[in-house]
Amino acid sequence: MIGLIGKKLGMTQIFLDDGRVMPVTVIKAGPCRVVQRKTVEKDGYNAVQLGFEEIRKDKVRKPQLAHFEKHESPNFRYLKEFRLKVYVDIKKGEVFDVGIFQQHELLSVTGTSKGKGFTGVMKRHGFHGFKASHGVHESYRGPGSIGQCATPARVLKGKKLPGHKGVERVTTKNLEIIKVDVKNNLIMVKGAVPGHRNSVVLLKKEI
């Protein structure tokens, strides 16, 4: 299997055998069931639809309930699709857990970044701001001149300006797996991953 759906539990640190301290993110991943198998012949591409975190029937909306009944699957809170380039022999109904990962393997983790609200250009885009002396007054954290006088006489699209920061789909690549706990369905990866605590993340093998 190429990946799993997981939930970020938070960050901690562990001591390695050589005494070094390693910051890690703890993720509860799986078990995930293959709800639907998509093929080139029927759907135009190879993919698997995974379900994560089983829930009661009354917690599911009617369209989703019909989808689960059609594929003879339990009801899940989260459904995510993984495109397949390898492992094309996976069948509907199979269940995968963190046992598919190994220590020191590399992962890509995709999640939704934390929301920071409305921020200025210094926090949002890393602008330096203005000097606090030599005639600068009134504006110290502003973006500076953003338009032109005669041509084109407007602010161009895509200009870096203040605005909403965060709540974006972010992928962090090449994260090393430090520890895999199959018994508790936990995986520890080196460093930070996108998202707040208890947010849903996608774990994919680097292939």
Cα dihedral 97→183→194→75 (10° resolution):
50
Average pLDDT of the chain, as a whole number: 91
The predicted-structure confidence for 87-135, as pLDDT tens digits, reads as follows 677 888 889 999 899 998 999 999 999 999 999 999 999 999 999 888 8
Homologous superfamily of 3-117+168-205: Translation factors (2.40.30.10)
What average pLDDT does the segment 146-167 reach? Answer: 90
Q: How far is CA 83 from CA 1, 2, 27, 44, in A?
A: 11, 9, 22, 11
- Specify the higher pLDDT residue, 160 or 137: 160
Q: What are phi and psi of 59, to 5 degrees?
A: -95, 0
pLDDT of amino acid 8: 96
Rounded Cα distance between 111 and 90, Å, is 25
Residues of the chain with CATH 2.40.30.10: 3-117+168-205
Q: What is the pTM of this model?
A: 0.83
- Quickly state the pLDDT bin for 23 (edges 50, 70, 90): very high
The predicted-structure confidence for 109-120, as pLDDT tens digits, reads as follows 999 999 999 999
